[in-house]
Homo-oligomer: A and B are copies of this chain.
Amino acid sequence: MSKVFIHDQLIRFAHCDPAAIVYFPRFFDLAHSTMEDWFADGVGIPLAELIRERRIGTPTVKINCDFVKPLRMGDTLRFELRVSKLGNASVNMDYRGTKDGIEHLQIKQTLVFMNLDSAKATPIPNDVRKRIEKFLIAPDKAS
């Protein structure tokens, strides 16, 4: 049974625009924070450690987002994070964003593991892969 990483964040003043709703590029900052905390607390290997000690970065090569309902200052955004595909050097991440149990947005992101010195894709190290696999959803459940 695959694990889901649950991550709550407060919508702040700085996230909101003159229409008093979240300015959409800020949702990608919020998703990035979720990914950072997933690496640290879910996978168990902080991104800062991956970058500094292993010289591996995880640039985003593709991202799709559907904004279903707006969010406002003071709301709590919950992201449920799952891994929908695990490639040799890439990870497909699914973020389901809810408030009070109701879906407000969906993000699908593809990360690539990259050697920061050569700037080329690099296979996901085995110890990291094993930890990421726990969040991989069963193929028949992937959307």
Shortest beta-carbon distance, A11 to chain B, in Å?
9
How many copies of this chain are found per oligomer?
4
Cβ-defined contact, B18 with A17, below 8 A: yes
Cα A70 to Cα B120 in complex, Å, equals: 12
Closest-CB distance, A76 to chain B (whole angstroms): 12
Chain B hits for A68, CB < 8 A: 61
What bracket does the count of chain A residues touching chain B fall in? 35 or more
Cα distance, A49 to B72, chains bound together (Å)? 12
* A/B interface sample: 15 pairs, CB < 8 A: A12-B32, A13-B17, A13-B18, A13-B36, A13-B47, A14-B29, A21-B59, A28-B28, A48-B72, A48-B74, A60-B67, A61-B66, A62-B66, A64-B64, A70-B119
